Amino acid sequence: MTAALRRVAETLLVLLVLSVLTFLLTSLAPGDPAEEILRRGGIQPTAESVAVLRGELGLDQPLFSQYLQWTLGVLRGDFGRSNVDRAPVAAEILSRVPATLRLAGTASLIAVGLAVLVSVRAALRPRALDSRIAKVATVAIAAVPPYISGILLISVFAIGLRALPTGGDGSPGAVILPALTLGLAGTATLLRLLRADLAAAARQPFVKLAVAKGLTARRTIVVHMLRVAAPGAITAAGVVLTELLAGAVIVETLFAWPGVGQLAVAAIRQRDIPMVQAYVLLTALATVLVLTLADLCVSAADPRARR
C-alpha cells in the first residue's frame, strides 16, 4: 500500500514540475500572441489595440500570478479560453479525446497484433521465407517516417484503389489508413523487443522441458514463452502507446483526423498558448498514467516484479 502511495506522490511531483515547465516554455516563447492574433485577422495592429488585447488575455500580469491563476484554473478543470476563437480549452480537448483514443487504440492493436504474429512466426520458423520477408518488411515500413508511409498508403488505397477515404472520420473504414500508418511505426520497436524476449525464453530450462514432454510448439510458445516475455512486452507496449499518442500529431494532420493532435498542430501554428499549454500538460499526464498502468500490469503478470 505504501508503495502505491509513494507512486501517487511521485506522479503528483512530476505533474507539478511539468506544469511549471509547460507554463514557462509556452509563455516565454518568443513572439507576442496578442499581436499575432490581430495580424492573423488581417489587421496590422496598433500599439493601442495590442495593449488592450494583452489586457483582455491577461498577458500584462506578472508571470507568477499568470501561472498561479492558470494552475488554480487547471485544478478546477478550467484550462482557460482559446486565444483564437475564445472557446473553452477543456471542452475543445475533451471533444477531441474520443477520436484520438479510437485512432491510438486501433493503432496499438495493429502494432501489438503484427508484432506478436511476426515474432511468434519467426520463433517457430526463423528461416522460413515468409517470416523473413515479414520481418524485413515490417522493420522497413516502420523505419519510414509516418508522414511518408501515410502518403504512400493514401496513394495506394485511396487514390489508386479508391478503397478507403483519404481522411476525415466520416465512414467506419476511415480509421484504417491512419491507424495503419501509426501502428506500423510502433511495430518495429515492439517486434525487436518481443523477438529478443522470446529468444531468451526459449533458453529457459522449463521451455526445454515442455518441449521434451511433447507439448506442441504453438502451445509452448503461446502459453509458456509468451508468458515469460510478457513483462518486457507490456513495458514496451506502454512506451509504444505513449509514442503513438505523441505521433498522432502528424498522422492526424495528414489524415484530417479530428483528434487532439490535429488540434495541437493548429494551436501551435496559431500561437494559441492556452491550448498548447493544456495539450502539453495533458499529454504528459497521459504518458505518466500509461506508464504507471504498464507497471501495474507487469506486476500483475509477473510475480517476481512484486517483490
Partner 1 sequence: MNRSRRGLRFPVLMRTCGGIRPRAMAVLGAVLLAALVACGGRGDAGQEAGRLTLAAPRDLAAGPEDPYFTHRTLRVWEPLVTLDDRMRPAPALATGWEHSDGGRRWTFTLRGGVRFSDGTPLTAEAVVVNIERFRRIAPRPSAFFSLDAGMEAAYGKLTGVRAEGGKVVFILAEPVADLPARLADFYSMIQAPSAFKADGDFAGKPVGTGPYTLVSWSKDRQVELAANPGYWGGKPAFDKIVVKTIPDANARVAALRAGEVAGLIDKGALLPGQVAAVAADGRFRITRSPSVLTHYLTFNASRKPFADPRLREAVDLAIDRESIADKLLAGTATPGSPFLSPIFGALSDPGVRTAHDPARARELVGAAGRPAEPVSILISSSETGQFPYADIAEVLRAGLEEVGLPARVNVVEATKAVMEAGDYDIFLSAYSVPNGDPDYLFRRFLRSDAAWNHDRNLGYRSDVFDRLIDRAAATGAVAERRELYHEVQRLLAADRPMIPLAYQDNPVAMSTSVTGLAQNPLYLVDLAKLAPSR
C-alpha of 262 from chain center: 13
Determine the Cα–Cα distance for residues 205 and 50; give it in Å rounded to an integer: 73
Q: Are 103 and 173 in contact (CB under 8 A)?
A: no
Query: Interface with partner 1 by CB under 8 A: which range of 3-11, 138-146, 261-269, 276-284?
Result: 261-269
The only residue of 7, 126, 136, 206 in contact with partner 1, by rule CB under 8 A: 126
Give the residues across from 88 on adjacent strands.
81
Query: Any contact of residue 85 with partner 1 (CB under 8 A)?
Result: yes
Among 199, 285, 297, 305, binds partner 1 (CB under 8 A): 199
205 near partner 1, rule: CB under 8 A: no
Q: Among 66, 65, 32, which Cα is nearest to 50's?
A: 32
Q: Is 84 in the site for partner 1 (CB under 8 A)?
A: yes
Binding of residue 207 to partner 1 (CB under 8 A): yes
| Residue 182 lies near partner 1 (rule: CB under 8 A) | no
The residue (of 19 and 106) whose beta carbon lies closer to partner 1 is 106
Q: How many residues bind partner 1 (CB under 8 A)?
A: 81
Among 5, 64, 162, 213, binds partner 1 (CB under 8 A): 162
User: What is the spatial distance between Cα 165 and Cα 171, in angstroms, rounded to a whole number?
Assistant: 8
Alpha-carbon distance of 297 to 291, in angstroms, equals 10
Question: Whose grid coordinates read 495503419?
Answer: 180
Establish if 222 lies at the interface with partner 1 (CB under 8 A).
no
Kindly tell me which of 70 and 255 has the beta carbon lying closer to partner 1. 255
Choose the stretch contacting partner 1; rule: CB under 8 A; options: 2-10, 17-25, 107-115, 251-259.
251-259
Cell 502518403 belongs to residue: 151
Can you tell me the distance from the alpha carbon of 63 to that of 281, in angstroms, rounded to the nearest whole number? 18
The identity of residue 183, as a single letter, is G
- The answer to whether 255 contacts partner 1 (rule: CB under 8 A) is yes
Asked if residue 269 binds partner 1 (CB under 8 A), the reply is yes
Q: Which of 84, 55, 88 is nearest to 73 (CA)?
A: 88
